[in-house]
Amino acid sequence: MQDFLTRLDCQSLKAISFDLDDTLHAYRNAASAAMDAVYVYIAEEYGRSPESLHSAYADILANAQSLHFTEDKPAREYRRSRFDALLQHFSIVGLHDTENCLDIYQDALDANMTPLPGAKEALVAANDAGLTTLVVTEGPTDAQQHALELLGMAPLVTHLKTSSQTGLCKEGGLYQHVASELKIPGSQILHVGDNPERDGRAAKKAGWHALIVGKDDNRYGLPHIAELSELTEWLNKNPAPAAMRRGI
């Protein structure tokens, strides 16, 4: 990582982009806790085991995620189709069960949503460095905006760009679309995320700089940091003239 940031001149950047889920906040943990609450509800109401519910839902979720949330519809509608499929799998046809599952899931998701170490500090440092601060992510726009607001990060983000909003996934043109729309050359954007394929390889293919945060995965030889605090330290040591960056 040090070699990468030594070579990367902060003065050459106009924007820094972050993935959201499992980059800025611990989404997997929150979503797992939310689904556990749903499983408990169904188990108590209908006697289905949480283990069997979890197994069935894993297949439903994998199929949904393979589409990368490129349809322009609210998160609740995405979730509704998944919960309907889960209930139908177990022949549960209660009139209000889907709505109850949706409410239970949202409440538990919100209660368990927490920022990852150094996330807010990295956003502050990016703003202080005068960089346009982006969140580029795959997911329903309303859910991603809600998460940023709940985490207190929304005021620190200049632009939120999602697959749902654009109809494009990260490996299908999202990065190129964002750069074109904002009129920022890809070579002047650094993207930070946790997924080597979607945040690393796809961003580099679009001509962006890419930095992986979290678990070290060297499949593609991508630069890596363990936590966002390392990025914050670099940004604080390499400020860019704010007057040259603002207003993009």
Distance CA 128, CA 142 (A): 27
pTM above the 0.95 mark? no
Cβ neighbourhood burial of 191 (10 Å; 0-12, 13-18, 19+): buried
Distance CA 131, CA 108 (A): 34
CATH for 2-26+115-245 (3.40.50.300, 3.40.50.2300, 1.10.760.10, 3.40.50.1000):
3.40.50.1000
Distance CA 55, CA 204 (A): 35
Residue pLDDT tens, the chain, 248 long: 557 877 888 889 999 999 999 999 999 999 999 999 999 999 999 999 999 999 999 999 999 888 889 999 999 999 999 999 999 999 998 879 999 999 999 999 999 999 999 999 999 999 999 999 999 999 999 999 999 999 999 999 999 999 999 999 999 999 999 999 999 999 999 999 999 999 999 999 999 999 999 877 677 789 999 999 999 999 998 766 543 444 44
